Amino acid sequence: MILRARDRRLDLGFRTRLMGILNVTPDSFAEVGRVLDPGAAVAYAVGLARAGADIIDVGAESTRPGSRGISAGEELDRVLPVLEGVLKAVDCLVSVDTSKPEVAEAALALGVHMVNDVTALRAGPAVAERVARHGAGLVLMHMRGTPATMQLDPRYDDLLGEVSASLREAVAVAEAAGVRPDAIAVDPGIGFGKTVAHNLTLVKRLDAFRALGKPLVVGPSRKSFIGAILDLPTGERLEGTLAACCIAAWQGAHILRVHDVAAARRAALVVDAIRAAPEA
């Protein structure tokens, strides 16, 4: 399987890929990966690329549980100078983590390769239309509710079926808007309107999303379900993150969205080697 993004093709067949997290925010849930100063943010991105990131995902609005969001103007002010610098400084793919069409458009005009939309086009096709016009890639992530409300009482009758159906609909909207079928990846949205048990099931049963026929992105990195198991703060969730990443990769994740690229790279290489080993 490949993921196309502008003139680039990310081959997903032979090894697990890594999306490194860069949050240009004062309030993202984890301190790791949070860099507000533009110069420091670009230097941080260079470090992610050197550590083995295949994609650097730059976000300027935290979507942590309870957050209320920021204006498009504020998001643009934070993200554009950083994207401009990152695009010049690294050779890997660069994505912008936004669900606002005006932010997506400005980032695409600068040359970003992908848009990572954590609302999976809930507000309509505007983001997808812009992605299509630039020939870029698109990640569609499942979220139940909004960041402000999503963790109040998430319930599903059929977790895997409902998340799959919602992603399938979003893919149809994206394709109808003109996004190339091979430029779309999907993500079940760990922590976005999910209980601890839901998150564990999503990682365990990631294989259920293979039927969507799209590259699978998954983002367990340092999230609260790991904290709930280990009773540890975000700064001490690396080992738990790696455990979840290994299971996710084993179950078919093509791209792991992580804060800790160097550590995840080592873990993923071992998973890939085990997968490639002879059966007996």
What residues are annotated to the active site?
Answer: 223, 257
What track of x and - describes contact with ligand HH2 for positions 46 through 75 (by CB under 6 A)?
-------------x--xxx-----------
Let me know: does 156 contact 147? Beta carbons within 8 Å.
no
Residues 180-209 that bind ligand HH2 (CB under 6 A): 187, 189-190
Instruction: Give the torsion through C-alpha atoms of 57, 42, 234, 218, to 10 deg.
Output: 10
Q: Who's near 264: CB < 8 A, 6+ residues apart? A: 18, 241, 242, 245, 256, 258
Tokens of 212: 């969507």
Let me know: does 206 contact 252? Beta carbons within 8 Å.
yes
Tell me how crowded residue 168 is: count the other CB atoms within 10 A of its CB: 16
Let me know: does 13 contact 48? Beta carbons within 8 Å.
no
* Least CB distance to ligand HH2 at residue 59 (A): 5
- Residue 97 makes contact with ligand HH2 by CB under 6 A: yes
* Least CB distance to ligand HH2 at residue 85 (A): 19
One residue of 257, 261, 264, 271 binding ligand HH2 per CB under 6 A: 257
CB nearer ligand HH2, residue 25 or residue 164: 25
* Least CB distance to ligand HH2 at residue 189 (A): 6
Residue 89 CA to chain centroid, in angstroms? 21
Q: How many residues bind ligand HH2 (CB under 6 A)?
A: 21
CB nearer ligand HH2, residue 49 or residue 234: 234
Q: Rounded to an integer, what distance in angstroms lies between the CA atom of residue 111 and that of residue 125?
A: 20
Instruction: Name the residue with the smallest CB distance to ligand HH2.
Output: 219
Residues that bind ligand HH2 (CB under 6 A): 21, 23, 25, 28-30, 59, 62-64, 97, 116, 118, 139, 141, 187, 189-190, 217, 219, 257
